[in-house]
Amino acid sequence: MKLVCPKCKWALDTVQEGLFCRSCSSTYVKKHGIVSFIDDVYSYGNIPQARWEEIFRAIEGKSNKEIQEYLLSQKFKGRWAYIESFRHNKADGFSFLPISSEDVILDIGCGPGSLTIPLSRACREVYALDATLPRLRFLEARRKNGGLTNITPIHASALKMPFNGPSFDYVLMNGVLEYVGEWGSGGNPEELQKGVLKDIYGLLKEKGYLFIAIENRYGYDFFYKERDHSKLYLTSLMPRFLASLLTLLLRRKTYRTYTYSYNRYNSLMKNEGFQRVEFYYVWPDYRNPKYIFPERDKNIFKYYLENFIKHQSSRLEYLFYRWAAGRGVEKHFVPHFIIMAQK
Amino acid sequence: MVGEISQYLKQHWAELGFPGDRSPNLSFFKVGGNPWEEGRINFLVFDVGQSEPLLFVKIVRDSTSNPAIRREYTIMKRLAEDEALSPYLPVPVHLVNISGRDMLLQRVCHGKRMISLLSGSPFLQFQKTILSMNFRRALEFVETLNTRQRKRLTEAEFRESIVDPLKLFYDQYEDSKEKKMRFTELTERLVAQMDGAFWVTPIHGDYSATNIFIESDGRVKIIDWETVREEGLPFWDLFYFMSKYIHNMKIYPNNRWDRVLSIYMGRGWLSQLVHGTVDEYCRKTGFDMSLGRLIFPLHFLNKATIKNDMKGRDAAQPWIRLFELSTQNLDQLCF
């Protein structure tokens, strides 16, 4: 696939140092062998840049197993996301989709490759896009170790992607859409999210799917068990202005990691033009999806309730979901969704 | 993947023993499984509108791991031919190949997992009744399996099948010469104790309260045969069941790993229950209790090998520790 200039959408030419746009004369150089469209300044998460360099020196030439052992032997904050990225179950939601060996996939916010790696074995090509360069370097190390030749890592922002026109059979955003609001320089987070959804719609081929894994704004877990993306309790449940006031007070930044209700996700997708939107419930969360089942089959939820929630969760949680299922409103309170929207 | 399975099931609906008068509208529930690349994905299959699942489907993520699923199928199928064992198995079971991937289609167990019947009381004292009931239920299957399916090996075969794999693993895992010597001493004592009668039995390999279903009619069904092996030591499944059960109990104090050995080496009522269960096993299977004592530490080591294969060195560590401690304190066992 020919990449395009994110600024002017002109097809890019390959030059020695990377890619060149003949229209606007921009040059996009490769960084550590990865084509890069943005500055390497975006969030490093919990791992500082100096530490990353140390990690890359230590894992160079090591097998995937040795990389895992190295990370397990270290004690720095933020390593678990990389250890767990070797789990293949994050991609289990894709079992419900008809992926073929001819399909081309775009993984937005691919991180260290939790979904990219398993999906690359099932399809023709995966374009793995992330705004954090070390994550892509980590993915590259895994890719090489796995002998995978159909993964193209791209250092770019989801707000300005180097693609043009319907090119993908699947686009996925696993725990990503909620962060889009933090990437823009100001502006309404919801508008930024809508903008990305609109771009994705344009990049999908006819009948292509958008795969989103995300929290339910009003999920039961967020009433008292889990913190919101703001790292505070209850903020997703509050009116946005109140959440913003609170995060400004306690975290010194406004609230921009918007999640939505079942109905709102549905309308967001439909408004962007998606024809068919299907929801799946995912438990305990989409980062470790032990249980996944379709929202449309109410009996599976009841079975899950009586055979799993009842024995694995608190009495209060069980009674709450039993009440919700009795009234057919459980979809408004399950904590995590996988949303599959077809063009 | 689900679409391909659904299509296969619809085409073979009647062959699988379901009424063939209508085409089912199938829905899939991904349940549990193993998160790693070579691990498995499980699905419960529902016919839309039905409140209970009809089938259990087990798939390996990485199709190069197909031999493991074939082994599971072959052993289960063979065990199911034994009429005394068949009622404990989730049969009928079918092995099918869909798009180059082997899959097991199994009967679904209805009822409750034994793990969900563990007492909710944080005090051990209030768990007496349920504990003895669950131990009795678990013993029922193990003694049937170990009585009906035993096989006698020669000493050379026994060493090759049982001792050598454990030795190989422990040699790679442990650097201490002293500990390695202790292992050799234990296995040599075991070989001597067996006195030419080298009995081995199939082992489930993960015989725990999580994998025991109590059906609504009270029948016990054993699920998750992923780690089944044709040749293991008698007592292993029983010891593992008790160790894991003791470890799983949500009681005070919350020292799960320390609790395991302290109960095997204690004199309280739970230790007596352990003793009684082992005694009953010996009575019914004819295996000697002194043999059980020597086999006891090896069930921890066997579990360590399984954990090491599936989840790596760290996951094996607590089991290794239990193996080493129990080897040093054989004379203090409660049975």
> Any chain B CB within 8 A of the CB of A96?
yes
Lookup result for tokens 């050799």 = B184
- Asked if the Cβ–Cβ distance from A92 to B51 is below 8 Å, we say no
Q: How far apart are CA A65 and CA B312, in angstroms?
A: 9
- Asked if the Cβ–Cβ distance from A291 to B3 is below 8 Å, we say no
Candidates B243, B223, B234; CA nearest to B307 is B243
pLDDT digits (tens, 9 = 90+) for B86-140: 999 998 999 998 888 889 999 888 888 888 777 777 888 788 888 999 999 999 9
- Asked if the Cβ–Cβ distance from B29 to A303 is below 8 Å, we say yes
* The pLDDT of residue A36: 94
R_g over Cα of chain B: 21
Peptide bond into B92 cis (omega under 30): yes
* The pLDDT of residue A182: 87
The DSSP element (H or E) to which B209 belongs, if any, is none
Q: How far apart are CA A286 and CA A93, in angstroms?
A: 9
Q: How far apart are CA B76 and CA B92, in angstroms?
A: 10
- Asked if the Cβ–Cβ distance from B313 to A69 is below 8 Å, we say yes
Query: Considering the entire predicted model, what is its pTM?
Result: 0.88
* The pLDDT of residue A312: 81
Mean pLDDT to the nearest integer, B26-42: 87
| Residue B280 CB-half CA count within 13 A | 18
* The pLDDT of residue B98: 87
* The pLDDT of residue A316: 94
The answer, yes or no, to whether residue B182 has pLDDT greater than 90, is yes
Which residue in B1, B29, B33 is closest to A89 by CB distance? B33
Overall residue count recorded for chain B in this entry: 335
| Closest residue in B to A284 (Cα–Cα) | B32
The answer, yes or no, to whether residue A44 has pLDDT greater than 60, is no
Q: What are phi and psi of B78, to 5 degrees?
A: -65, -45
- Asked if the Cβ–Cβ distance from A95 to B2 is below 8 Å, we say yes
Instruction: Output B101 or A258, whichever has higher pLDDT.
Output: A258
The answer, yes or no, to whether residue B180 has pLDDT greater than 90, is yes
Give me the residues paired with residue A208 across strands.
none
Q: How far apart are CA A187 and CA B184, in angstroms?
A: 70
> Any chain B CB within 8 A of the CB of A73?
no
User: pLDDT exceeding 90 applies to what percent of chain A?
Assistant: 80
User: pLDDT exceeding 90 applies to what percent of chain B?
Assistant: 65
Q: How far apart are CA A19 and CA A26, in angstroms?
A: 8
- 8 Å CB contact between A171 and A203: yes
Our CA angle for A217, A221, A225, nearest 5°, is 130
Give me the residues paired with residue A281 across strands.
A293, A337
**Token pair recorded at residue A257:** 């990691």
Instruction: Output B161 or A51, whichever has higher pLDDT.
Output: B161
The answer, yes or no, to whether residue B314 has pLDDT greater than 90, is no
Which residue in A99, A292, A307 is closest to B30 by CB distance? A292
Spell out the residues 6+ positions from residue B187 whose beta carbon is closer than 8 angstroms to its own.
B163, B166, B167, B298
Which residue spans within B24-179 are E strands per DSSP?
A: 26-31, 40-47, 55-60, 93-98, 101-107, 112-113, 151-153
* The pLDDT of residue B276: 96
Mean pLDDT to the nearest integer, B32-44: 85
pLDDT digits (tens, 9 = 90+) for A186-219: 789 999 999 999 999 999 999 999 999 999 999 9
The pLDDT-based confidence of A43 (bands split at 50, 70, 90) is low
Give the distance from residue A181's alpha carbon to the nearest chain B alpha carbon, in angstroms. Answer: 31
pLDDT digits (tens, 9 = 90+) for B220-251: 999 989 899 999 999 999 999 999 999 988 88
Which residue spans within chain B are E strands per DSSP?
A: 26-31, 40-47, 55-60, 93-98, 101-107, 112-113, 151-153, 198-203, 212-214, 220-222, 229-232
| Closest residue in A to B109 (Cα–Cα) | A307
- Asked if the Cβ–Cβ distance from A89 to B3 is below 8 Å, we say no
pLDDT digits (tens, 9 = 90+) for A120-155: 999 999 999 999 999 999 999 999 999 999 999 999
Q: Where are the alpha helices (DSSP H) in chain A?
A: 49-59, 64-73, 80-84, 116-120, 133-145, 180-183, 189-203, 221-224, 240-251, 262-271, 298-304, 310-312, 315-326
In chain A, residues with a C-beta closer than 8 Å to the C-beta of B115 are 311
Which residue in A95, A118, A297 is closest to B48 by CB distance? A297
**Token pair recorded at residue B154:** 């020669």
Kindly provide the ipTM of the predicted complex, given to two decimals. 0.92
* The pLDDT of residue A42: 65
Order of strands across the sheet that contains B198-203: B151-153, B198-203, B229-232
The answer, yes or no, to whether residue A1 has pLDDT greater than 90, is no
Pairing of strands B26-31, A288-294: antiparallel
- Asked if the Cβ–Cβ distance from B61 to A87 is below 8 Å, we say no
Lookup result for tokens 């890359």 = A56
Query: Across chain A, how many H-helices and E-strands are there?
Result: 13, 12
Lookup result for tokens 């290794």 = B320
- Asked if the Cβ–Cβ distance from B313 to A96 is below 8 Å, we say no
- Asked if the Cβ–Cβ distance from B33 to A293 is below 8 Å, we say no
In chain A, residues with a C-beta closer than 8 Å to the C-beta of B316 are none
The pLDDT-based confidence of B65 (bands split at 50, 70, 90) is low
